[in-house]
């Protein structure tokens, strides 16, 4: 019963809020009297979105942007998870890299785009690397927090049973830290989509960033709203799926504790 209520609330609450926001949007359009190229009406955007979804252009652009964003997430995971493990395992390594990790966050990712173009060139590889740079830090921090917050009593019990360092990491610390790492991936994925769109605008590409650039140059505000709505919908869907998987892992981890408490 509780799970059913949670699912119903998870679905209903965003829908209600979305309808309220659309109503406020329509009210603003009707009261302000702005022309459509400044702020289009929700109905016009919905009609345009339907037309865009019926053609191949939006789907092709969306697919390319998702490939770049997912590629950036994969590279960010491959770099962030091992580094988080190394920082967790070695205090000396942690003390050495922590100041530099903080310094990297002071550099806007968009400022690195011209350098990436010089080093790699225009197109997909440069955009993927820009996405990875944006995803890397949240994944690293979340995974590191997850590793550091593993219950020490569980680790000590595993050591008493003869578990070595590699076994602890693979079968105890890693699984228990996985929900935290997924939270970092969940937040990082939205940043990766942002990086992909911005990267396409700066470094070239044929995805959603390029489509938005064309619509901007044509003063196609309705088209821009339609493109942004499609982009936000996809990002929100993937975000919710990762969050659902993360919550299911947390529930699985909590069941043994509930049984033990009984």
Please count the residues of the chain: 262
* pLDDT, tens digit (0-9, with 9 covering 90-100), for 177-194: 888 888 888 888 888 888
Per-residue confidence band for 157, with pLDDT thresholds at 50, 70 and 90: confident
How much is the pTM? 0.81
Contact 187, 196 (CB under 8 A): no
pLDDT of amino acid 6: 65
Contact 189, 242 (CB under 8 A): yes
Name, in order, each residue with C-beta under 8 angstroms of 111's C-beta and a sequence gap of 6 or more: none
Give the mean model confidence (pLDDT) for residues 58-77: 92
Residue 127 phi/psi, 5-degree rounding, is -65, -40
Check whether 67 has a pLDDT greater than 80: yes
Kindly tell me the number of DSSP H helices and DSSP E strands found in the chain: 11, 0
* pLDDT, tens digit (0-9, with 9 covering 90-100), for 14-41: 888 888 998 898 898 888 778 888 889 8
- Residue appearing with tokens 């700066």: 202
Euclidean distance between CA atoms 101 and 32, whole angstroms = 47
């Amino acid at each position: 019963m509780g799970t059913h209520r949670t699912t119903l609330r998870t679905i209903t609450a965003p829908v209600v809020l979305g309808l309220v926001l659309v109503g406020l949007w329509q009210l603003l359009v009707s009261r302000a009297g702005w022309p459509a190229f400044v702020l289009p009406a929700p109905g016009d955007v919905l009609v345009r979105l339907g037309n865009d979804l019926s053609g191949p252009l939006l789907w092709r652009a969306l697919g390319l942007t998702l490939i770049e964003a997912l590629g950036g997430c994969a590279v960010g995971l491959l770099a962030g998870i091992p580094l988080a493990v190394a920082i967790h395992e070695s205090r000396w390594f942690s003390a050495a890299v922590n100041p530099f990790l903080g310094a990297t966050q002071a550099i806007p990712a968009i400022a690195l785009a011209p350098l990436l173009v010089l080093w790699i060139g225009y197109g997909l590889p440069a955009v993927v690397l820009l996405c990875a740079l944006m995803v890397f830090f949240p994944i690293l921090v979340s995974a590191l927090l997850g590793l550091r917050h593993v219950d020490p009593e569980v680790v000590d019990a595993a050591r008493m049973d003869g578990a070595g360092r590699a076994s602890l990491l693979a079968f105890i610390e890693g699984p228990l830290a996985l929900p935290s790492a997924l939270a970092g991936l969940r937040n990082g994925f939205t940043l990766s989509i942002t990086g992909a769109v911005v990267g396409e605008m700066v470094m070239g590409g044929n995805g959603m960033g390029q489509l938005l650039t064309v619509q901007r140059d044509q003063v196609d505000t309705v088209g821009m709203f339609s493109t942004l709505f499609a982009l936000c919908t996809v990002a929100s869907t993937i975000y919710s799926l990762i969050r659902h998987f993360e919550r299911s892992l947390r529930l699985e981890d909590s069941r043994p504790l509930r049984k033990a408490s009984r």
